[in-house]
Amino acid sequence: MASVSHEMRTPLTAIQGQIDVLLKRPQTDSEVRESLERTSREVRRLVRMTNNLLLNVQLDSKPVLVLQEVNLKDLLEEIMREKYVLAEGPDLSLMASEDVMVSGDYDLLKQMVLNVVDNAIKFTPKGGRIKINLGQEEGWTVIEVSDSGEGISREHLPHVLEPFYRADTPRRFVGGAGLGLAIVNQVIELHGGKVHIESQEGIGTKVKMYLQVQPLHNWEGSHPAK
């Protein structure tokens, strides 16, 4: 699985690069441009699926965490800059007034939040709201992503953190491998945290990611995840 996922990334990246070049050409007519934009969205979806497959295998193999002091406010602001343009339909906002420092693997923590935000964007219609909030709760640092999207049914909610789980509703997890939230769970557990999901159909979903507040000196460099 890891080898196949790795091999797929190179041609997909090349295809995306060629599409980007064609989209930048002023002589590209509107009909062709629309077709290229649709293709570009599908290629980006395939890239995300491939990256998630590769990351899932890596996380299952007990990876070595690259631990550092992470400013979660800076991390969330970086995600906002990357995702604001892509969130064409719903309104995307961030509430993070203070710096919050944790010890962890920056890249994995970023991917964890990206997976949740991507889900929120995918299932929140135009005119809806997506809010990212950074705060504290009972001794935990909490990253909360809430949306006013279609929500998850009660029967599927207990299973959405399971790898490759796909609900059989018309839209939920359509086009995905069912790994996005499973990776969120894997990353949070590797960091000694926990994740809690609340959702109601037709009202929206709230995902809360809890991280331990732990001084950096308690982590002595990188170490294998337990």
pLDDT in tens, 172-198: 444 455 678 888 998 998 899 999 999
Give the DSSP letter of residue 61. T
pLDDT at 61: 67
One-letter amino acid for residue 172 of the chain: R
Residue 43 vs residues 15, 46, 164, 182: alpha-carbon distances, Å: 8, 5, 20, 22
pLDDT at 86: 59
Sheet holding 91-95, edge to edge: 91-95, 129-137, 140-147, 204-212, 194-200
Q: What is the model's pTM?
A: 0.71
pLDDT in tens, 35-92: 888 888 788 777 777 777 767 666 676 676 778 899 999 999 999 988 766 556 678 8
Rounded (10°) angle between helices 72-83 and 106-122: 40
In 3D space, the residue among 213, 60, 48 whose CA is nearest the CA of residue 142 turns out to be: 213
- pLDDT band of residue 95 (cuts 50, 70, 90) is very high
CA–CA separation, 62 and 84 (whole Å): 33
In 3D space, the residue among 55, 44, 29 whose CA is nearest the CA of residue 85 turns out to be: 44
Give me the CATH code for the 66-220 domain, please.
3.30.565.10
Give residue limits of the domains in the chain: 2-60, 66-220
Greatest alpha-carbon pair distance for the chain in Å reads 58
